[in-house]
Chain A
Amino acid sequence: MSSLEGENRERCIDAVRHLDRRGFPARALREAPAQTQNDATVGESRTAEVDRLQRTLIQAQNINGGWGYNGNSWWTEPTALAILALHASGCKGTPYDRGCGWLAAAQRKDGGWSPHLTVHESTWVTSLAFLALAGSSVRFNEKAAIEWLKRSVNQTLPAFEQFIFRALQLNSPKMAGSAPWFPGTAGWVIPTSLTLLSLSRAARAANDPELVNTMTASRSYLLARRCVDGGWNHGGSSYRSENARSYPESTGLALLALGGVSTTQLTPALQLAESFLGCAESAEGLAWLQMGLTKQGRAPTLDSGQFPCRTIRETSLRLLALTADSPRNCLMAA
């Protein structure tokens, strides 16, 4: 056993002890009935863990069909992820249908989704909502959603603006192919990766050259935004952040989105992602790494227990990672 593995084992044991001591961490779920608690159990089988995570999601669903980050509200992102996770793990029934119904009803007139019903602007969460509903039988305005996603990706700058940026030796913050978190702002790694996944899913059902061009530009953006260590962080790998390190979660997600790209180009990223498995920092980081590496043909360990799933979002991502080999996993199949 390497020293790193030894450290991880100790960390894992510490994490479990910590959970036992303080109970379930997330505030709202802490208030949920005992059987919904999400404490990792040492030695738990994969099937048992899937069952437990499914129960957690089902019992945390709100009466209107949506999910909150902590089980006490209704946000688009955790709802979409919970739907994807239930679908991937074969849990299709009333909770899944109610979730899809809520999400479809939340689609806005412009084709996108806002993060929360109180927010009056469609944002990056549209990519996740689209992926969640594209795998369901619920009716929604798929065409409008795809158009919104295409519009959200930054296009090549006009020639004059390109000249200015070149003259100043700067990268345009709105690099072609990148997608922003919030409309009108710069593109970043995570929303671009999620948009690329959703456009890939859309491209399976439509012969749209514009879609293909957009996806090509998004892949180029991601490859250009790698950090010096070969992976990805939030996207700040340029001026004054040139030595910034990669994050496990964005490296895993970018690898997932870059499925199909030549592995030669991704070799440093893959090596980094594998090294991150031992120090993923969070349940989210570990889940994206596991999915990204699986997508790239690697076989990462699916061990968990190192990190507690503190929110519905993390519970869903863990469930999606555990079902990475399932054909029903829409993130993997995108």
Chain B
Amino acid sequence: MMNRRHFLLGSFACLAACHGNRTSLRHSVTIARAASYSADLVDLIRRILVEHRVAVKGQRILLKPNLVEFSSSAPINTHPVLVASVVEAFISLGAAQVCIGEGPGHRRMTLDMAEAAGFFQSIPGFEKRFTDLNIDAVVLTRLPRPFSSLSGLYLPQTVFDCDLVVSLPKMKTHHWTGATLSMKNLFGIVPGAVYGWPKNILHWAGIDECIADLHFLFPRQFSIVDGIEGMEGNGPILGTPKWAGVVVAGSHPPSVDATCCEIMQIDPRKIKYLKLISRRDPAWNIGASRQIGESIESVGTRFALHPDLEALRLVV
């Protein structure tokens, strides 16, 4: 288990390696062990944010957890204790505003789901912080050089009113894309009141392509993946719990997602949306991200895949 000393040593080593090379730091990914949701997650998140030199003071932060279903037991939703810890960490570092926004993809009663999933109980003042992105005011946003067949999307005003979008996904397998992590989590910002439940237009325009398009819309992002308890098998809803005991974080969502894939023993080079990103961003190579803290090998655990997706398996 990574303690504070190991974390700091790893961090200093990485920072030394990255000194003068902001690109490398940008592509760095922290892998931190977290034995349970009762661990000191606030301290862990705070250290990660400092580690990655995230500008927080005076900033308006939008946290985007993954809230999908009525459940406090099945690992479908981002754990509310982790979300609460992230809120507290950002506040403690001087954020001017920390909001939470989500637009669930299948069900419409967002606050009822949040209540059932434990968000009200775990996050002080949750309702005041929360915006249902499915019914928020929308603006038509052009997609620059889209991969998908879409030229634009109506998106919630709230996501453009913040300085930093923080994606807080659950580490899950996905029965179409292989894995759903910080980039796929941004599907939740697409407003259901315009596109429906599910947001089927994203499927018609190409799931992987839309994931890549949404990524490029938000240049300032940070990702913190809830991999303490994830989901394997027929995710993102019908899978089974999978304990991985990690929090994975970084400023570059594709690097974070690629690292998560390797932890899950899924080959990130076979994940189509990551391939699209690497094609557009020559400064980034899948699998070349630098890890801080734990190594992938030390925390890697095999997430069962839907049988049709076994070809995505990482050959170790």
Contact = CB atoms under 8 A, between A and B. Distances in A.
Interface of A: 22, 25-27, 69-70, 73, 75, 77, 115-116, 118-120, 123-124, 180-182, 184-186, 188, 190-191, 233-234, 236, 240-241, 243-244, 247, 249, 281-285, 307, 310-311, 314
Given A119-B138, A310-B112, A182 B107 contact: no
What 8 A-B pairs come out closest when comparing CB atoms? A181-B196, A282-B109, A282-B112, A69-B135, A185-B200, A240-B175, A185-B204, A182-B195
A26 B106 CA distance: 20
Interface in B194-214: 194-198, 200-201, 203-204
Interface of B: 70, 106-109, 111-112, 116, 127-128, 131-132, 135, 137-140, 154, 175-176, 193-198, 200-201, 203-204, 234, 237-238, 306, 308
Contacts of B175: 240-241
Given A75-B135, A119-B154, A233-B106, A244 B237 contact: yes
Given A123-B194, A180-B200, A233-B106, A244 B127 contact: no
B196 A191 contact: yes
Contacts of A243: 238
Contacts of A247: 106-107
Nearest to B106: A234
7 contacts: A25-B127, A118-B139, A119-B140, A182-B195, A188-B200, A234-B106, A314-B109
B97 to A, nearest CB: 15
Nearest to B128: A27
Contacts of A241: 175, 237-238
Contacts of B138: 116, 118-119
Given A240-B175, A240-B234, A115 B193 contact: yes
Given A118-B140, A181-B197, A244-B238, 9 more contacts: A27-B128, A27-B131, A73-B137, A75-B135, A188-B196, A188-B198, A188-B200, A240-B306, A307-B112
Contacts of B128: 27
Given A119-B138, A240-B306, A181 B200 contact: yes
B89 to A, nearest CB: 24
Contacts of A188: 196-198, 200
For the residues of A in contact with B, the DSSP-based class is loop
Contacts of A234: 106-107, 197-198
A304 B175 CA distance: 38
B112 A77 contact: no
Nearest to B131: A27
Contacts of A244: 237-238
B68 to A, nearest CB: 12
Nearest to B107: A247
B194 A190 contact: no
Nearest to B197: A234
A69 B237 CA distance: 27
User: Chain B interface mostly helix, strand, loop or mixed?
Assistant: mixed
A240 B283 CA distance: 36
B127 A182 contact: no
Given A240-B175, A243-B238, A249-B108, A281 B116 contact: yes
A311 B135 contact: yes
Q: Which of B116, B135, B195, B306 gathers the greatest number of chain A CB atoms within 10 Å?
A: B135
A111 B46 CA distance: 54
Contacts of B201: 182, 184-185
B234 A181 contact: no
Given A116-B193, A119-B154, A281 B200 contact: no
B204 to A, nearest CB: 5
A77 B193 contact: yes
A191 B140 CA distance: 23
Contacts of A69: 132, 135, 193
A119 B194 contact: yes
Contacts of A307: 112
A59 B11 CA distance: 56
Given A249-B108, A307-B112, A190 B70 contact: no
A314 to B, nearest CB: 8
A311 B112 CA distance: 11
Contacts of B234: 240
A234 B200 CA distance: 11
A188 B197 CA distance: 9
A249 B109 CA distance: 10
A119 B194 CA distance: 8
Nearest to A75: B193
Contacts of A190: 196-197
A64 B306 CA distance: 51
Nearest to B139: A118
Question: Which of B116, B193, B204, B237 has the most C-beta atoms of chain A within 10 angstroms of its own C-beta?
Answer: B193
Nearest to B116: A281
A234 B107 CA distance: 8
A26 B108 CA distance: 14
B195 A181 contact: yes
Nearest to B200: A185
Given A123-B194, A182-B201, A70 B109 contact: no
B194 A115 contact: yes
A311 B203 CA distance: 28
Contacts of B237: 241, 244
Contacts of B200: 180-182, 185-186, 188
A184 B106 contact: no
A281 B109 contact: yes
Contacts of B127: 22, 25, 27
A289 B235 CA distance: 28
A22 B127 CA distance: 9
Contacts of B193: 69, 75, 77, 115-116
A25 B125 CA distance: 11
Contacts of B308: 240
B310 to A, nearest CB: 14
A291 B306 CA distance: 38
Nearest to A243: B238
